[in-house]
Amino acid sequence: MVPDTHNALLPLGDTLLERIQSCESISTMQELAFEIRDNSGAAHLTYHFLSNPWVREGGELGVTTYPLSWQILYTEKNLVHSDPVVRTALTSALPFLWSEIKILSQKEKRVMQLFSEQNMGKDGMSIPLRGLRGEVGLLTITSRNIHDFGRDRRRVYAATFSQIGAYMHEWFANYGGRREALAPPRLSIRERECLAYHGEGLMTQEVSYRLNISEATVRLYLATARHKLCAQTTCGAVAKAIKFGLI
């Protein structure tokens, strides 16, 4: 479940992750994407499964709340090859803001200009996603206001949507026939405890106190758990651990 500390700003509901996991079709996931967008206050939400070249170029395996006019423009002009967001996601491990992306060419600049002209958000936050077999995905939300991702709100959005993205990515990896079901990775008792406390919203210092271990040791357990779960963020690791019934 999404921690209560996040729901204070993003009232997405306690059963959201279970609903993502139990979606029966892409159309159902598409409806859920609109619901998440509306309940989170984001301007738009998009998820794409990027591992398959056919998917990258056609965009068939994913969901989005962007208007159809932008989807058609993006596909017809084949903008994926010049999209700096996609480029950055394929080389990044952590959530990033569009306003922080270094534009490398006039083509990339043009993609961002075209998006801005569509008035679909003041800034974007993209979250790179990796599956247990290396499958690559990308979850993006755009903001209604230029300051939506500032300071503490950035942390809240990144933490919440890392969990949402982890569940969506796992669903699409299986739905797309990219792999058979995997046995859950084995986590130590301490790794599970540290993830569980983090999922409850406790900071590293608080987890250290609860378990009577040093903060450095807590960070080490979280790092090894992230590695075993192929998660870029601790929140993503928490989401996967919940999904596999490890915590």
Residues 240 and 170: beta-carbon distance below 8 Å: yes
Kindly report the pTM of this predicted structure. Answer: 0.69
Residues 39 and 11: beta-carbon distance below 8 Å: yes
Residues 206 and 197: beta-carbon distance below 8 Å: yes
207: burial class by Cβ within 10 Å (0-12, 13-18, 19+)?
buried
- Kindly state the percentage of the chain with pLDDT values over 70: 86
Q: How confident is the model at residue 239 (pLDDT cuts 50, 70, 90)?
A: confident
pLDDT of 134-181, one tens digit each?
778 899 999 988 888 887 788 888 888 988 998 898 888 877 655 555
Residue 219 CB partners (closer than 8 Å, separation 6+): 204
pLDDT of 21-34, one tens digit each?
888 888 999 999 99
Q: What is the pLDDT of residue 14?
A: 62
Query: Which sign, positive or negative, has the C-alpha torsion 64, 69, 72, 73?
Result: negative
Q: Which domains does the chain have, with CATH numbers?
A: 4-175 (3.30.450.80), 189-243 (1.10.10.10)
Residue 120 CA, chain-centre distance (Å), reads 19
**Radius of gyration in angstroms for the set of CA atoms belonging to the chain, rounded to a whole number:** 18
Buried b (16+ CB within 10 A) or exposed e, 114-137: ebeeeebbbbbbbbbbbbbeebbb
Residues 237 and 170: beta-carbon distance below 8 Å: no
